[in-house]
Structure 1
Amino acid sequence: MLFTRPTDEVLYDALIARDPAYDGFAYVCVTSTRIFCRLTCPARKPKPENCVFQDNVAACLEAGFRPCKRCRPLLKYKDQDPTVSALLDALEKEPARRWCEDDLRAAGYDLSTVRRAFKRQFGMSFLEMARLRRVGQAAETLAEGGRVIDAQIDAGFESGSGFRAAINALVGEAPAGLRGQTLLKADWLATPLGPMMAIVDDHALHLLEFADRPALPNEIRHLKERSRMSIASGRTPVTDILAAVLDRYFSGESSEFGIRIAGHGTGFERDVWTALQAIPAGETMSYSELARKMGRESAVRAIARANGANRIAILIPCHRVLGADGSLTGYGGGLWRKRWLIEHERRMAANRKSSVAG
C-alpha cells in the first residue's frame, strides 16, 4: 500500500514529539530560519505558522531551504551508499563551492554512477543539489539585506542576463512543440527591488514573483502542470498593464491594481487571498487577526499555509501579514523586501492622508 502523507496537523504533532515513525516520510521547512529538518530533530521547535512540510529533500532544497546542521537530513542516507556519503560530506564542508563535472572526474568518480545514486535517493543529481545549496545561500544574502548582484553571483551566475536566462530555460519551449497550442507568456519586469517574472495569458495574471526567489523554478513547473499549458517567452496586453501598475506602485502614486488574476488554488486558498487583498495598503495584520476577519478562528495554520502558497507577489499582499508579536515572518521574496514593501506602503498611506487633510 502506498504511503499517504498525513495532514500538517499530524506532522506538527509528530515534530513536537520527535516521533521516529514519520522520519523520512516528511521534512519540516522553517520559514523563519530558512532551514529544513527531520521530524526527529532535537533543535528547538518552531511555531506552527512557521512550518511548511515537504515530502522529500529535493522539494526542500528547491524551495530554497538549507539543511539543518543538527539533524543533518542529507546525511541520513550516508550509510546506504559510500559514493553518496563521501560527496555529501564534501558538500557539507563546502556548500558555496561551484561544483562541476570536472571536479567529480578529478576526484575519481564515474559521472553516471554518481548521477544514478543521487537520483535514486534524492530525485536530483549531485550537481543539481550543489547548485540549489548555492541558491539557498543567495536567498540568505538577500534576506539579510544583501544586494541582488551579490545573490546572483553567489548562486553561480556571472551576469544578470545569465541569472534570468536560467529560468527562461525552464519556461521556454521548442518552437515545433508550440504549434497550435494556447500559451502562457512569461516576461521580466524591472522594479526597484530587482527583476520580477510575470506569467500571463491574454486575459489574466497567473504568476508574479521576484526572479531570485529560490522556489520560482518549482512554481513554474507546478503552474504548467496545473494549467496544462505551455509557457513561452513573450508579452500580452496584460503584461503591459501590469508593468504600468507596478511603476505607479513603486513610484508611490497608487496602491490600486485592478488586474484580473487567474483562479488558481483551492477554494479555501482563494478565500484567503481575497482577504489579503482587503487589507489596506499601509496596514498589517497577524495570522490570527486574519483568521478572525474571515470567521475561521480555528484555521490559523491553514491560513498561514495558504498565505505561503500565494504566487502573486505584491498584488496579493501576503507581505502585510506579520507574526503574532508583530515581527516579520517568512516571505518568499526575502524579509528585506517585506520590510521595504511595508514601509513603502506606510509612506504612501501617510502621503494620502496629508493630501486629504490639505
Structure 2
Amino acid sequence: MISPEYQQEYYQALLEKKTEYEGLFYVGVKTTGVFCRPTCPARKPKFENCEFYATAQEALLASYRPCQRCRPLSHPNHVSDVVRILVEAVEKEPEKRWREEDFRQLSVDESTARRQFKKRFGMTFVEYARARRMGLALKHIRSGQTVIDTQLSTGYESSSGFRDAFARIMGAAPTLLTEDRVLKASWIDTTLGPMIAVSSEEALYLLEFVDRRGLEREVERLRIKTKSAIIPGMTEPIRLIEQELNTYFSGKSTTFTTPLQLLGSPFQQQVWDQLMKIPAGETRSYAQIASALGKPSAFRAVAQANGANQLAIVIPCHRVINSNGELGGYGGGLTRKTWLLQHERTPLQAIQSSNALIHEQGEYNS
C-alpha cells in the first residue's frame, strides 16, 4: 500500500482527475469493492473510504475488482478486446484455475493474453487471475469472517458451491474443519506490502508476502503436511509477529522472539539455523553456509533449503547471496531483497560511525 505521506496528494489528484498521475497509483474504494485509475469519472469516495496502491496487482491482492467505468486494467486510450474478454471471464468465476482448454473455449490465444497483460500492467494473465483468486481468499482472512458470513458475502446461494470454491482456494471444505486440525491465518500490512501469517495457537508456521510466486502451492503443502485446514483467525503468535514486524520495519529492532514451528528435513533445519545466525546488516554466500555446516560441496542443497524457507524475514534467507557478490534469488522479489539488506545495513552503519566517533574522542581526551 502507498505510504501515508503520499495519500493526501493522491486523493487530491483523484478529485481533480489529474492525468499526469496515471500509472502512479490505483485507488481501492472500500464501499464498492472496486479499484480505479486516478482519472475515473465515477463519483468520488470520501478519503477515509480509499486505499491507495502502487500497482494493479496490489489492489487485486487486497480483494478489489477492476472498475467497469475507468477500466484500470486497460491502457487509458485503448481497450484491448483480449483484456476485456479475459477480465470479464475472471469476474464470472474468480476462484477458477485457468488451463489451456479455457483459453480455447474463449477463442483467445494464450501467448497473446500473456503478452497483452504483461505490456499493459506488468503481469501476465495467469498472474492476474491468481492475484484475483488469492485476493478473494485473503479478503476473508483479513476480515476474519465466519464461514456462513463468508458464504453470504461472496454471493454463493448454494452452500455446496461455496464449499467447492473454498476448497479450491484454501484446501479444505469448511464443514470438515475440526478444532484440533485447524491453523489460523491473518493478513499483516507491512512497508513492503501485505504478508500472510499462518499459525497454531502455539507457534508460527508460515510468513510470506502475499504476491510470492507459488504461495497457493506453499499453503497447500503446509496444509497436507500438518493434516490441517487453514481458516481466517487470530492467534497469539500472529499478534506477536505483527508487533515485531512493526518494530523491524521502523528500524527499532532486527530480532524476533515469536515461537516458530519449522517443518523441514534435518538438513533444511540446519541451514535455517545457520541463516538465523547471520547478523543483521551482513550477508553470507551459499558456499559459506555449506562450509559452516561441514559440507563445503553442498552449496546447491543449501540453496534449495534456502528457497524452501516459509518464514520470510524471521528466518533471513534474504541475507544469502551468490559467491560473486550478486544478490541471487528471493521468493519475495529482488527489489524487496535489496530494500531489506539496505534497511538492515543502515542502522549498523550508524552504530559503527557512532562507535568510531566515541573511540576518536577517547583517544583525543587521553
Fold shared, TM-score > 0.5 on shorter chain: yes
Deviations 1:255-306 (A, max 9, x none): 0101221030100000000000000000011111111122110111111111
Higher relative contact order (CA 8 A, sep 6+): 1
Change in 2 beyond 3 A, CA 1:347/1:201: same
Identity value in percent: 37
- Preserved contact between residue 83 and residue 113 of structure 2 (Cα < 8 Å): no
Q: Which has the larger radius of gyration?
A: 2
Identify the residue that residue 164 of structure 1 maps to in structure 2.
135
CA spacing shift, 1:186–1:265, aligned 2, 3 Å: same
Q: Secondary structure at the match of 1:330?
A: coil
Deviations 1:51-107 (A, max 9, x none): xxxxxxxxxxxxxxxxxxxxxxxxxxxxxxxxxxxxxxxxxxx9988747979xxxx
**Does the CA contact (< 8 Å) of 1:171 and 1:233 recur in 2?**
no
Kindly indicate whether the alpha-carbon contact (under 8 Å) linking 1:276 and 1:317 is maintained by their aligned counterparts in 2. Answer: yes
* 1:187 correspondence with 2:186: yes
Matches within 5 A, 1:90-101: 99=86
**TM-aligned CA deviation for residue 352 of structure 1:** 3.4
Q: Give the CA deviation at 1:153.
A: 9.3
Change (3 A) 1:339 1:98: farther
Counterparts of 1:1-358 in structure 2 under 5 Å? 99=86, 126-127=101-102, 155-156=127-128, 164-166=135-137, 169=166, 170-171=169-170, 173-354=172-353
Give, in whole Å, the separation in 2 of the partners of 1:134 and 1:332: 27
Task: Answer yes or no: is the 8 Å Cα contact 1:206–1:262 preserved in 2.
Answer: yes
- State the secondary structure of the residue aligned to 2:306: helix
Secondary structure of the residue aligned to 2:252 is: coil
The TM-score normalised by the length of structure 2 is 0.56
Residues 102-135 of structure 1 deviation map (CA, whole Å, 9 limit, x = unaligned): 79xxxxxxxxxxx9xx99xxxx5644999x9999
CA contact (8 A) 1:189 1:243 kept: yes
Alpha-carbon offset, residue 180 of structure 1: 4.2
Deviations 1:18-69 (A, max 9, x none): xxxxxxxxxxxxxxxxxxxxxxxxxxxxxxxxxxxxxxxxxxxxxxxxxxxx
Task: State the alpha-carbon separation in 1 of the partners of residues 83 and 103 from structure 2.
Answer: 13
Task: Kindly provide the CA deviation profile for residues 212-267 of structure 1, in whole angstroms up to 9, marking residues without a partner as x.
Answer: 01210000000001011111111101111000000000000000101221030100
Q: How far has the Cα of 1:155 moved from its partner?
A: 3.5
Residues 162, 350 of structure 1: alpha-carbon distance in 2 compared, 3 angstrom cutoff: same
Secondary structure (helix, strand or coil) at the match of 1:242 reads helix
Distance 1:288 1:150, change over 3 A: same
1:182 Cα shift?
A: 2.9
Q: Given residue 330 of structure 1, which amino acid in structure 2 is its aligned partner?
A: G
Q: Would you say the 8 A contact 2:114–2:125 is kept in 1?
A: no
Question: Which runs of 5 or more structure 2 residues have no equivalent in the other structure?
Answer: 1-80, 91-95, 142-165, 359-366
Task: Point out where structure 1 has 5 or more consecutive residues left out of the alignment.
Answer: 1-93, 104-114, 142-148
What TM-score do you get using the length of structure 1 for normalisation? 0.57
One-letter identity of the residue aligned with 2:128: G
RMSD: 4.0
Contact 1:172 1:232 in 2 (8 A): no
Pick closer, same or farther for the CA change 1:335–1:177 going to 2, 3 Å.
Answer: same
Q: Deviations over 1:299-326 (max 9, x none)?
A: 1111111111111100111111111110
Contact 2:82-2:113 within 8 A present in 1 as well: no
Question: 1:100·1:127 contact (CA, 8 Å) conserved in 2?
Answer: no
* Number of corresponding residues: 238
